[in-house]
């Protein structure tokens, strides 16, 4: 496995407890609604073998399975077994879907599959955490079959994600530019750059679709959980209690424009970039 970014390390080492919070808080708030839009953009319905690469707790895999026909199969791969465990726990409770989903541990940079295994490859909010983007896209393209499609979702920049832009600004003021950059890494891979990398990897008919997600956190605490889980968490825990309390108060204040009742509702913009593997000659 190659060296991960700071966020990549946090995600890849998330504990079972954190994976369950991710599944029960962040997926309903953000990643589930995003997965629904990715799947309605990317899944035609006639694909038989689908891969969800960097599946986390399986939001994309489950949404795809609902849209595929019986007999299709979705494989969900993630580096972190804690996410996969949380995903399997949810699947046991979930209703029936058309396609079967299996969860498997693996690295997106070295996928444990033969060339051309999948008809459709989906990956949501993963590529921005990997240290070698072109290599990751080439690896995803390798396991996509000739004429198969690869779709990847990444967030657009902070200018289009105002709540996290406000939180990044607080991190910059409290600490420094370096920590602010690490915190904002999820919003640092522009869909336009991803499009270029896909074209560079030999994909054809590359297209980009904007996704407007309305994130809905049930409480401010859920937003604060994201910051505590992020690469800022370690610095936050090193603050004196009074300083940590003051910073937390500033975060609460910063998200007030997005308060709705007891929760927080904030627009988040993503980009979904897709390309096709050229058919074999």
Distance CA 109, CA 268 (A): 27
Interface of this chain with ligand SAM, residues 23 to 52, rule: CB under 6 A: 27, 31, 35
DSSP track, 172-240: HHHS-HHHHHHHTGGG-S-HHHHHHHHHHTTEEEEEEEEEEEEEEESSHHHHHHHHHHSTTHHHHHHS-
**Residue 118 in the binding site for ligand SAM (CB under 6 A):** no
**Residue 247 in the binding site for ligand SAM (CB under 6 A):** no
When binding is defined by CB under 6 A, the residue of 124, 168, 174, 230 that contacts ligand SAM is 124
- Least distance (Å) from ligand SAM to the CB of residue 243? 29
Q: What is the largest CA-CA distance in the chain?
A: 66
Question: Which residue spans within the chain are E strands per DSSP?
Answer: 49-53, 73-78, 100-105, 118-124, 144-155, 203-217, 259-260, 263-277
Distance CA 153, CA 95 (A): 26
Considering the complex, state which of residue 155 and residue 258 has its C-beta at the smaller distance from ligand SAM.
155
Distance CA 281, CA 274 (A): 21
When binding is defined by CB under 6 A, the residue of 39, 59, 170, 171 that contacts ligand SAM is 59
**Residue 222 in the binding site for ligand SAM (CB under 6 A):** no
**Residue 271 in the binding site for ligand SAM (CB under 6 A):** no
**Residue 187 in the binding site for ligand SAM (CB under 6 A):** no
**Residue 121 in the binding site for ligand SAM (CB under 6 A):** no
Part in contact with ligand SAM (CB under 6 A); list of ranges 122-130, 156-164, 189-197, 230-238: 122-130
Considering the complex, state which of residue 35 and residue 137 has its C-beta at the smaller distance from ligand SAM.
35
Closest chain position to ligand SAM (CB): 56
Is 128 in contact with 261 (CB distance < 8 Å)? no
When binding is defined by CB under 6 A, the residue of 6, 11, 39, 137 that contacts ligand SAM is 11
When binding is defined by CB under 6 A, the residue of 107, 119, 139, 222 that contacts ligand SAM is 107
With residue 166 as reference, give the H or E element that holds it: helix 162-174
**Residue 109 in the binding site for ligand SAM (CB under 6 A):** yes
Per DSSP, what are the bridge partners of residue 153? 124, 272
212's CB contacts (< 8 A; 6+ apart) are 267, 268, 269
**Residue 78 in the binding site for ligand SAM (CB under 6 A):** yes
**Residue 189 in the binding site for ligand SAM (CB under 6 A):** no
Is 247 in contact with 142 (CB distance < 8 Å)? no
**Residue 129 in the binding site for ligand SAM (CB under 6 A):** yes
- Least distance (Å) from ligand SAM to the CB of residue 197? 16
Considering the complex, state which of residue 31 and residue 187 has its C-beta at the smaller distance from ligand SAM.
31
With residue 252 as reference, give the H or E element that holds it: helix 241-254
Is 154 in contact with 270 (CB distance < 8 Å)? yes
Residues of this chain that bind ligand SAM (CB under 6 A): 8, 11-12, 27, 31, 35, 54-56, 59-60, 78-80, 83, 107-109, 124-126, 129-130
């Amino acid at each position: 496995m190659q060296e991960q970014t700071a966020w990549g390390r946090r995600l890849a080492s998330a504990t079972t407890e954190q994976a369950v919070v991710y599944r029960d808080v962040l997926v309903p708030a953000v990643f589930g609604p995003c997965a629904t839009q990715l799947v309605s953009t990317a899944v035609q319905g006639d694909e038989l073998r689908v891969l969800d690469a960097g599946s986390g707790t399986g939001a994309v895999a489950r949404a795809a399975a609902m849209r595929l026909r019986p007999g299709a199969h979705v494989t969900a791969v993630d580096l972190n077994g804690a996410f996969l465990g949380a995903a399997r726990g949810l699947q046991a409770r979930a209703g029936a879907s058309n396609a079967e989903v299996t969860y498997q541990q693996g690295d997106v940079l070295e996928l444990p599959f033969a060339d051309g295994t999948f008809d459709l490859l989906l990956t949501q909010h993963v590529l921005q955490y990997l240290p070698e983007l072109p290599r990751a896209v080439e690896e995803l393209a390798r396991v996509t079959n000739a004429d198969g499609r690869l779709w990847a979702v990444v967030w657009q920049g902070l200018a289009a994600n105002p709540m996290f832009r406000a939180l990044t600004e607080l991190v910059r003021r409290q600490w420094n530019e370096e920590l602010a950059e690490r915190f904002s890494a999820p919003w640092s891979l522009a869909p336009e750059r991803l499009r270029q990398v896909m074209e560079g990897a030999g994909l054809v008919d590359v297209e980009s679709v904007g996704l407007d997600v309305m994130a809905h956190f049930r409480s401010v605490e859920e937003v604060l959980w994201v910051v505590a889980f992020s690469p800022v968490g370690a610095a936050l825990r090193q603050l004196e209690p009074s300083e940590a309390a003051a910073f937390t108060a500033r975060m609460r204040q910063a998200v007030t424009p997005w308060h709705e009742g007891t929760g927080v509702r904030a627009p988040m913009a993503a980009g979904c970039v897709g390309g096709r593997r050229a058919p074999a000659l």
